[in-house]
Amino acid sequence: MNITVIQGSPRSGSNSAKVAQFLCDSLNAKEGVGSKVISLRELDFPNFDTGLEIPQIEMLRTTLNDADGLLFVFPEYNGGMPGAMKNALDYFRPEYNLKPMAAATVSAGPFGGLNAWHAFHSWALYVGGIVLPNNLKVSGVGNLFDQAGTPTEEHFNLNYPKFLEEFQWLVGKIQD
Ligand SMILES: Cc1cc2nc3c(=O)[nH]c(=O)nc-3n(C[C@H](O)[C@H](O)[C@H](O)COP(=O)(O)O)c2cc1C
């Protein structure tokens, strides 16, 4: 089972990038799962233009098509998804149809990116994704990891294993 983690923060030194890598590593520790992180920041898509042909668009198209499931990890920016993330995702449409999707939303504050989750959920249903109802809300992200990169927050440590398990279950059901 191939689960691609899409990291949606455009910021250098992003906290979401750390969460994305941690969840990817956790997926890779599971039997029968292979995962990699795609950072939209690194792909650096220009503002959308129909028919634009650049190698990173083709690369992401292949990645989206090949993935059995897509795990999006991104911060809340001013009550929604980062604009740069939405811009990059809008280059594609049929690639999302009937694709299992899940989201981990990230905030420095206490609400775990709740508004970003709602924005994502509307978008994901619109483009035809099969969205895991459970969303991993990652709050207080600035203090989540210790020096060794181990998460120290009680709620995160309680919630992320169940979240990943449920997503693995969903992807498996769609594969059947
Ligand atoms: C442009 C911008 C808007 C933001 N808006 C919100 C917000 O609406 N709600 C929130 O909880 N945090 C907000 N934050 C703070 C992020 O939660 C914080 O940067 C966190 O580290 C996750 O983003 P990152 O992955 O880019 O680091 C915002 C940050 C930026 C740069």
Ligand 1 contacts CB of residue 108 (under 6 A): yes
CB 17 within 8 A of CB 81: no
**Full set of structural domains in the chain with CATH:** 2-48+55-175 (3.40.50.360)
Task: Return all residues near 113 (Cβ < 8 A) that are at least 6 apart.
Answer: 74, 75, 76, 105, 106, 107, 137, 138, 139
The pLDDT value recorded for residue 86 is 98
40 CA to centre of ligand 1 in angstroms: 16
Residue 128 pLDDT level (bands cut at 50, 70, 90): very high
pTM score above 0.75: yes
pLDDT for residue 34 is more than 90: yes
Residue range 55-67, pLDDT digits in tens: 999 999 999 999 9
The pLDDT value recorded for residue 176 is 84
Over range 113-134, report the average pLDDT. Answer: 98
12 CA to centre of ligand 1 in angstroms: 12
